[in-house]
A and B are shown apart, each in its own frame.
Chain A
Amino acid sequence: MNTRTPHSTHTRIALALCAALGLGALTPTEAAERIALVVKNLGNGYFEAANKGGQEAAREIGGVELVMTGPTQPTAEGQIEIINSLIAQKFDAIIVMANDPDALVPVTKKAMQRGIKVISADSAIAPEGRILHLSPSNAQLVGEKLIAMIGKTIGGSGEIAVLSATAQATNQNAWIEWMKRTLAKPEYATLKLDAVVYGDDQSDKSYREANGLLATYPNLKGIIAPTTVGITAASRAVVDKGLVGKVFVSGLGLPSEMAGHVKSGAVDAFALWNPIDVGYSATWIAHRLVKGEASGKPGEEIDAGRMGRIKVGDKGDAAMAEPFTFDKTNVDEFARIF
C-alpha cells in the first residue's frame, strides 16, 4: 500500500473544486485498502446491484473503499482505459466484469506485474490475465437447483419437460445434462422427464414448442425453461391455455420479465444469479487476496463472509453458489434491479 502524506491545503482545494463540479461524492477518501469494481458499462441495474453487494462487503470488512467504475459503452477499449487509470492510482485490487476475455489480458497482466490483485467476476478474463474467476454458479449447481425448484413446486412427483434454447447451446446442454444426472438420484425417482424440446431462443418458436408440450403430454405438471426467452414463452402458453395451477413453469429468468407471470400463477419460483451476491463475494475474495489470506490456487477454499467458503476449481474458476430463487416474496424488489 502506498503511503500518503496529509496534504490539507490540497485536499481543501480539491474538495472545493469537486464541490464546484458537483463531484463531491467522488473525492477519494483515505481508506487503508482500495478495491475497484470495473463493470461492463454504466447505467445498468445489474451492475448497480453488484456494486450494492460490494459496498455491503466493504462495510463488513471495514477499512476498505470499493469504487465502482466502467465505460459508457460496453467495449473492451473503454475498460482498458479505465484499468490503466486504476493502475496509475495504485489500487490494491481490481474486480473486472470483462467485455472481452482476451483484449483485457495485456492490461490486467501489467496490473498484476505492479502488484495489483486482479480477479474477474460474472464475465471472465482469460486465465493468464487474472488470479481467479468468480462464476455466479456452475453447471452442476444450476442443474440441481432447477430440479429441486420444480420438485418443490409440484410436490415432489409428476411429469416434467424441458424447453431449452438451441440444440447446440453449450450452457443449456451442460445444465440439462446435470438435470438428468440429478433426476437419476433416488430422491427424485418420482419425477419423470417426458421430453426436451428446443425453442431456439425465439419467442414465437418457444411459444409453439411449449404449446406442443402441453398438447402432447396431458399429465404434464412442470416445464423447466433454462433460458430467459423460453421461460416467458412457456409462461404465456400456460396462461393462454388456461392451465394455470395445473402446469407450473420454472427455470432461469429475469425478475423484471417474470414478475407478471409470478403474479398470474403460471410461475411459482424461478432462479438466476443474484448480482448483489456476486459483487459481495468478489469484494471479499479480492480483500482476502490483498491481505494474503488467500492465493487463488486451484483447490483452495476462500471465506467470503455470508456466502460461506467458495472453492477455487480447475483453471482458477470459482463457482459462487447455486442460483438465487425468486418467488412472489421477492420478485418485485428484484424486478426494479434487472
Chain B
Amino acid sequence: MLNDVKTDTPRYTVADRAPRSFRALCLRWETLLALLLLATVFVNSTLSPFFLDPYNLADSTFNFSEKALLALGLTLIICAGEIDISVAAIMALASVCMGLLSLAGFGTPVLVLAGLAVGLACGALNGFIVTGFGVPSVVVTIGTLSLFRGLTNVILGDGAITQYPAGFGELGQGYVFGIIPIEFIVFLVLAAAFAFGLHRTRFGRNLYAIGNNAIAARYAGIPVQRYRMALFMLSGLMAGLAAVLLTSRVGSTRPNIASGWELEAITMVVLGGVSINGGSGSVGGVVLAILLLGMVTFGMSLLNVPGIIMTIFTGLLLIGAIAAPILIARVSGQRRRV
C-alpha cells in the first residue's frame, strides 16, 4: 500500500495520511476485532439462552471494567515503547492505604482521593526511576511490582481489612439508570478521553513519535523524558482508580487482591493491535479487544467452562492475534501496515 501511495501521488505532494480505501478499511485490525466480536456474540447467544439479556450483559461488565482501566493506561505506555508491569501491585498498595484510612474512620471522599493519590505516587516513583536513572522500564516495574506487593504483604500479613464506610460500596457496585454499572460508564468516558488524547492531539502524535524512535523524537524537540514521566504517572493514576473501584466492589482488601491482573491488562492491549515494540496502535482497537475478551469469557462462564480452559482459549486468541497479521502479510507478500 505504501508503494501505491508513492506511485500514484505527484512527487511534490506529501499526503497527510494514506488515501481512505475500502480495501484498507477491511484490512484494519479494528475491523477484524469487530467481526470477531460479532461472531462471539452470535455464538454465545446461540449456545446460551441467558447471554442476550440486557441485565446479564450489563452485569458482565463488572468482570472486566477495572482491568480495562489498567489497559487504557498501558495503551499509552506501550504505544510510547515502554511497559508498566507494576499496575496490579499498585492497585494492592492503593487498596491497603484506603483500608488503613477507613479503619482510622475517614469517609468515602478521603478514601477515593487517597486511592488515586497512592496510584499517582507509585506511578511517579516508576517514572522517576525510569527517567532519572535511565533503567529500562521492564526492569524498573518488575522491581516496583515486588516492592509494592511486598509492602502490602508486610502491612496486612495474612489478615484482611473489611471495614469500609456504608456508602463506599456504591462506586463499585452501583448502577446508572438501574442497569448500567457505574464502573462501566467510568470506563467508557475515560476510553473516549484517551482516544481523543491519543488520536486528536499533539500529545498523542508525539507519543507515537517517541514509540517509533525516541532519539529522533528528541531531536525533533519532543521532551521525551517529561512525556515518559507523565505516562507512568497516568498509568499509576489509572491503577489507583481501578483500586478504588475494585475495593469498593468487593468491600475488602487482602494481600493477593488483583494478583495477576497486569498480564490480563497487557493481553487486552496487545490483542487490541498495539505493537508491543511501541509506535502503533489505537484506543479503539483496545476497547474492542476488551469487549471481545469480556464477551468470550462471559460466554464461556455461562456454559460453565472451567477457568483453566478459558485461560488456554485466551492464550490461543492472543497468539493468533499476533501471528495472524504476520502470516497474512507473508501470504500476500506485503509488509505489515505500520
Contacts and interface: CB of A to CB of B under 8 A. Distances in A.
Q: Do A and B come from one complex?
A: yes
Contacts of A73: 259-260
Contacts of A78: 307
A18 B302 CA distance: 13
B59 A103 contact: no
A72 interface: yes
B212 interface: no
Interface in B297-314: 297-298, 301-311
Interface string A147-161: 000000000000000
B160 A102 contact: yes
Interface in A102-120: 102-106
Nearest to B257: A77
A88 B54 CA distance: 10
Nearest to A83: B301
Contacts of A104: 250
Given A76-B254, A106-B249, A26 B301 contact: no
B233 interface: no
A242 interface: no
Contacts of A31: none
Contacts of B47: 14, 17-18
A244 interface: no
A331 interface: no
B251 interface: yes
Interface stretch (A63-71, A208-216, A233-241, A262-270): A63-71
Contacts, number: 102
Contact of A88 (B254, B302, B306, B309): B302
A90 B47 CA distance: 15
B252 interface: yes
B60 A88 contact: yes
Given A18-B47, A75-B259, A88 B56 contact: yes
30 contacts: A10-B46, A14-B47, A18-B47, A18-B303, A23-B303, A28-B48, A28-B304, A69-B301, A70-B306, A71-B307, A72-B311, A73-B260, A75-B259, A77-B246, A77-B257, A78-B307, A80-B62, A84-B62, A85-B298, A85-B302, A87-B59, A88-B298, A88-B302, A102-B160, A102-B162, A103-B251, A103-B252, A105-B251, A106-B173, A106-B250
Interface of A: 4, 7, 10, 13-14, 17-18, 23, 26-28, 36, 42-43, 67, 69-73, 75-78, 80-82, 84-85, 87-90, 100, 102-106
Given A88-B60, A88-B302, 20 more contacts: A7-B49, A14-B46, A18-B303, A23-B309, A36-B304, A42-B306, A42-B307, A72-B306, A80-B62, A81-B63, A85-B302, A89-B48, A89-B302, A100-B250, A100-B252, A100-B254, A102-B160, A102-B162, A102-B250, A103-B252
